[in-house]
Amino acid sequence: MALGPYSGPILPAHKAALLRNADVVVSTLPGTPETHHYLSTTEFGQMKPGATFISLGRGSVVDEAALLVALGEGGSLGGAALDVFEVEPLPKESPLWDVPDSKLLLSAHNADFTNDYFDLGWQVWAKNYEAFVRFESFPTPVDTNAGY
C-alpha cells in the first residue's frame, strides 16, 4: 500500500495511515504483551467507513468490546470476520453472537483448515524433527521470549 511518497515497509508508526486508506484490514499478529489490544477504539475509529476487518492471528490483539461498538449502530465498520477470539472457544454469553450475520462472520479458529492441512503439518513436523536429530536450528523456530 502506498502511503504518499513513502515506499518502505509498513511500520507501527504508519498504522493510522494504513487504517485510513485500507478497504480491508487483516490482523495476523502474534499474541504478545506489545500486541495486546493493538486494535481497539482508536484504530477502529481510524478505519475507512465501510471497511472490512479480518482477524486470523491471535484473539488478544483485538479489543472485542471496541469491535462491537465499531460494528454496531453508529459504528463505521462495514463488517468483520473473526477466526480467533480473546477467549476460546467463544463463550455462549459473548455479545459477538448477537451481531447480525450481515456484519460479522465467525469461524472456529480453523481458517487455515484446507484439504492439505494435515499433510502440510506433517511436512513441517518432519523438517523440524530432522533438524532436531542433526542438532541444527529448526526451520520453523519458536521464540518463547517473543511470545510465539
Beta-carbon count within 10 A of 4 CB? 7
Q: Buried b / exposed e across 15-35, counting CB within 10 Å, b at 16+?
A: bebbbebbeebebebebeeeb
- Cβ atoms of residues 63 and 39 within 8 Å: yes
- DSSP string computed for 69-138: HHHSTT----EEEES--SSSSPPTT-GGGGS-TTTEEE--S-TT--TTHHHHHHHHHHHHHHHHHTT---
- If one counts every other C-beta atom within 10 angstroms of the C-beta of residue 112, the result is 10
Amino acid at 37: H
Residue 3 has pLDDT above 70, yes or no: no
Q: Give yes or no for a contact between 22 and 1, defined as CB atoms under 8 angstroms apart.
A: yes
Residue 147 has pLDDT above 70, yes or no: no
Of 40, 37, 36, 46, the residue nearest 14 (C-alpha): 46
- Asked if residues 60 and 35 have their Cβ atoms less than 8 Å apart, the reply is yes
pLDDT per residue over 120-144, tens digit each? 889 989 999 999 999 998 887 777 7
Closest CA to 55 of 80, 21, 91, 20: 80
Is the model more confident about 1 or about 95?
Answer: 95
| Domains in the chain: boundaries | 12-112, 114-148
CATH of 12-112, one of 3.40.50.720, 3.90.1170.50, 3.40.50.1370, 3.40.50.2000: 3.40.50.720
Question: What is the band of 85 on the pLDDT scale with cuts at 50, 70, 90?
Answer: very high
Q: What is the model's pLDDT at position 108? A: 86
Q: Is the pLDDT of residue 5 over 70?
A: no
The pLDDT score that the predictor gives to residue 2 is: 47
